[in-house]
Chain A
Amino acid sequence: MIDYLNTHAEQIVLIVVIFLAFFSLLVFVGAICSRWLLNRSEKRKARIRSDLSNLVIQYISNDITFEEIKSELTTKTDYAILLQLSNELGRSLEGEEAERLKRLMNLPPIRSYFEDRFESGNPLERAKACLYFSKKTNIKQTLIPAIVKQTSEEHPMLAYAACMVILNHGSDEQKKLAIENLLQNDGLSNQALNDIFAEFQANSADEDTGGAGLLMELIEKGKFTDHRTALMIRTLGELGYFQSADFLLEKFFELPKTGYDPEIATALIDILVKFGMAEIIDRLHKQFVQSKHSEVREAVAKALGIFCREESIPFLKWLLVDQDFYVRFHAATSLSNFPEIDLRKLKTPDMDDKEYSELLGEIEASKEGGY
């Protein structure tokens, strides 16, 4: 064997080199081909998108008729791209143009294309179908129970899109169930949930039993994570549900002295300040100003500056020497709201000269910028 290897060593090396060269060439050609195919498909999609967007724009501007655009829509790929374009435009338009867009998306072949997609095993395809249904004025009522089920799917995009359909076409009970399911989906972003609540608010005929009532009911149930509960509290404030102020005040006073969740406490402070509930000031002074959580102290520093009560000045001075920069910054900003306070005189010897002057500069700049 050794003799054989010694005799044929050169040929063996040559064969190995040729094999490796051939293999590398194959990989190289494969990579180029797949890149080329990918580019071709991307270019094709971009071309279809560009052609379609020109058509849609001409159609909604009344420069071409419904029949003309209908005759241009031929392949199934067009429909998925058309839905994208329609969603993009739908966010910005209302009135006559929005109605024309709706009429276009109601074409029978487009409708059956998305109804087929809803039966797909791929959650993303089902999500696309749900997004389509959510934009429609009417959908088959037989589809609704199956769509409600999709709201408890793990895939966040699918759960979100299904919930949007239910908010537009479901009963009050189905809407509640869909939102509850969504709140348990950890993959869903806060922004997506905010959109859901805004949509729910837009679709609620009665404000009291609508958005605010549902959110308070869900918070009261207490079965969601602290993160989600804090988000619901903030949503009550962001959507301007002033009727929830007393409920939130109750929740604020129910917070234990220790061991509370900082996210919930911060949300309660921020929103109660927004609602102008000065009843919280005393507890802010007595307890939360010394919270072990910097985000809570930061919220207190901001809140005291908004209420701007004279009795808060010593507490804000205390926060001005906090270990956390943002707490110090907001305490200083709040103190600058009191006309009798000269921030330059408040600097204590243990404060860093450079940092303090930078902090004052930042406050001045933020006030000039109107932030």
Chain B
Amino acid sequence: MNQARILVVEDEEMTARLILYRLKSLGHETRHAKDGVEGLKMIKEFNPDLVVLDVMLPGKSGFEILQELHDDPEFESGNIRVIMLSNKKSVEDVSRGFNLGAMEYVPKPFKMDEFLLRLKRVLNQ
């Protein structure tokens, strides 16, 4: 997928800005949500191809967002690819993310090139 619609749900301003900058320079259409509540709303409105979702968010956690999307009968959660981004590295958290439908789990700190490579792989799946 050359040009995708990507939503970044991340409360850390600089991390979000850097990801958005790199995604824009690759030609993707991007949006940003700073908290969980706004993130959930934008997923439904913007209908992105891919969501870069932080786990620890104010308002609603990344896990809660995925659970709500999963439980929403009106929403086709299967159409959205999700990459989770988190400081949490425990096996439980990673498996919880995958069980809720995430396709990648990127622990922080991360290497930007590696992150973009994973993102590309998920977009091409």
Q: Interface on A for B, CB 8 Å cutoff?
A: 53, 56-58, 60-61, 63, 85, 88-98, 369-370
Known: A53-B14, A85-B14, A370-B96. A93 touches B110 (CB 8 A): yes
Interface 0/1 of B108-120, CB less than 8 Å to A: 1111111000000
B25 at the interface (CB under 8 A from A): yes
Interface 0/1 of B89-125, CB less than 8 Å to A: 0000000100100000000111111100000000000
Question: Closest A-chain residue to B10, C-beta based?
Answer: A92
Contact between A57 and B110, CB atoms less than 8 A apart:
no
Q: Which of B1-9, B15-23, B30-38, B39-47 contacts A (4 or more CB under 8 A)?
A: B15-23
Contact between A89 and B18, CB atoms less than 8 A apart:
yes
Contact between A61 and B18, CB atoms less than 8 A apart:
yes
Question: Closest B-chain residue to A90, C-beta based?
Answer: B109
Contact between B22 and A61, CB atoms less than 8 A apart:
yes
Chain B residues, CB < 8 A from A96: 111-113
Contact between B25 and A94, CB atoms less than 8 A apart:
no
CB-contacts of B67-104 with A (<8 A)? 67, 87, 96, 99
A370 → chain B closest CB, angstroms: 6
* Cross-chain pair count, CB within 8 angstroms: 60
Bound-state Cα–Cα, A109 to B108, Å: 30
Bound-state Cα–Cα, A280 to B109, Å: 38
Contact between A369 and B67, CB atoms less than 8 A apart:
yes
Contact between A57 and B21, CB atoms less than 8 A apart:
yes
A80 → chain B closest CB, angstroms: 15
A239 → chain B closest CB, angstroms: 12
16 A–B contacts from the bound complex (CB under 8 Å): A57-B14, A57-B21, A61-B22, A61-B25, A91-B12, A91-B87, A91-B109, A92-B108, A92-B109, A92-B110, A93-B110, A94-B110, A94-B111, A95-B113, A97-B111, A97-B112
Chain A residues, CB < 8 A from B18: 57, 60-61, 89, 92-93, 97
Contact between A57 and B112, CB atoms less than 8 A apart:
no
Bound-state Cα–Cα, A63 to B113, Å: 14
Contact between B111 and A92, CB atoms less than 8 A apart:
no
Bound-state Cα–Cα, A97 to B108, Å: 13
Chain A residues, CB < 8 A from B13: 53, 88
Contact between A61 and B113, CB atoms less than 8 A apart:
no
Question: Closest A-chain residue to B22, C-beta based?
Answer: A61
Chain B residues, CB < 8 A from A85: 14
Bound-state Cα–Cα, A61 to B17, Å: 12
Bound-state Cα–Cα, A89 to B112, Å: 12
Chain B residues, CB < 8 A from A92: 12, 14-15, 18, 108-110
Bound-state Cα–Cα, A98 to B114, Å: 14
Bound-state Cα–Cα, A351 to B13, Å: 50
Known: A53-B17, A57-B18, A61-B22. A88 touches B111 (CB 8 A): no
